[in-house]
């Protein structure tokens, strides 16, 4: 949780397991064959300690910086969001999954990065997987599926939800 991985090696797998209310944020430059996956835990840092990748309001600039160092071009980055479930039947203000999704969407909008695919919400956990050269998948209770994406060396699979 709160981790961030970047790769430019075809065939590498980036995986975020156990995404309940957390968000798995994949940023991909299909042309450069560079991708990153962050496991976002909380919507805002609000003075909390931890890596930027742990917080929805800090993760996007950190990912962009690392992806650019790996050869990505910011204007080509596309985003895929997975997770953000409502894991407990508590008040709406305690719906961390929804708040995480909103924080990440807001950060992507501020960075002018298009959300290419999203599978968020519900009440069950997921696993996000990015395989460079093959695509992005979301697994919900043993039901893995490819999320829609663009062509390119990173080859986001073109399957629909």
DSSP code for 15: E
Give the DSSP per-residue string, 42-107.
BS--TT--S-GGGBTTTHHHHHHHHHHHTT--GGG-EEEEEE----S---GGG-HHHHHHHHHHHH
Q: At what angle do helices 96-110 and 59-69 cross, to 10 degrees?
A: 50
- The answer to whether position 37 is within a domain reads yes
- The answer to whether position 15 is within a domain reads yes
- The answer to whether position 67 is within a domain reads yes
Catalytic status, residue 22:
yes
Q: What are phi and psi of 72, to 5 degrees?
A: -75, 155
- The answer to whether position 41 is within a domain reads yes
The CATH number of residue 30's host domain is 3.30.1330.200
- The β-bridge relationship of strands 23-29 and 78-83 is antiparallel
- The answer to whether position 100 is within a domain reads yes
Predicted local confidence at residue 18, as pLDDT: 85
| Identified catalytic residue from 22, 37, 72, 96 | 22
Which residues span the domain enclosing 82?
4-146
Contact 19, 87 (CB under 8 A): no
- The answer to whether position 36 is within a domain reads yes
pLDDT tens sequence for the chain (161 residues): 789 999 999 999 999 998 999 999 999 999 999 999 999 999 999 887 888 989 999 999 999 999 999 999 999 999 999 999 988 776 556 789 999 999 999 999 999 999 999 999 888 888 999 999 888 888 765 555 566 553 333 333 332 22
- The answer to whether position 153 is within a domain reads no
Task: State how far Cα 91 lies from the chain centre.
Answer: 25
Predicted local confidence at residue 102, as pLDDT: 95
Total domains, the chain: 1
- The answer to whether position 81 is within a domain reads yes
Handedness of CA 42, 48, 49, 55 (dihedral sign): positive
């Amino acid at each position: 949780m709160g981790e961030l991985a970047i790769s430019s090696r075809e065939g590498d797998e980036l995986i975020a397991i156990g995404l309940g209310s957390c968000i798995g944020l994949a940023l991909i430059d299909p042309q450069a064959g560079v991708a990153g996956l962050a496991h976002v835990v909380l919507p805002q840092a609000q003075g909390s300690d931890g890596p930027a990748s742990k917080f929805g309001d800090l993760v996007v600039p950190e990912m962009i910086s690392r992806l650019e160092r790996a050869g990505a071009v910011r204007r080509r980055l596309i985003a895929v969001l997975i997770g953000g479930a409502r894991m407990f039947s508590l008040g709406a203000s305690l719906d961390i999954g929804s708040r995480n999704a909103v924080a990440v969407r807001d950060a992507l909008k501020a960075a002018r990065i298009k959300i290419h695919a999203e599978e968020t919400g519900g009440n069950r956990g997921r696993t996000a997987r990015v395989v460079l050269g093959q695509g992005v998948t979301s697994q919900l209770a043993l039901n893995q599926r490819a999320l829609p994406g663009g062509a390119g060396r990173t080859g986001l699979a073109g399957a629909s939800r």
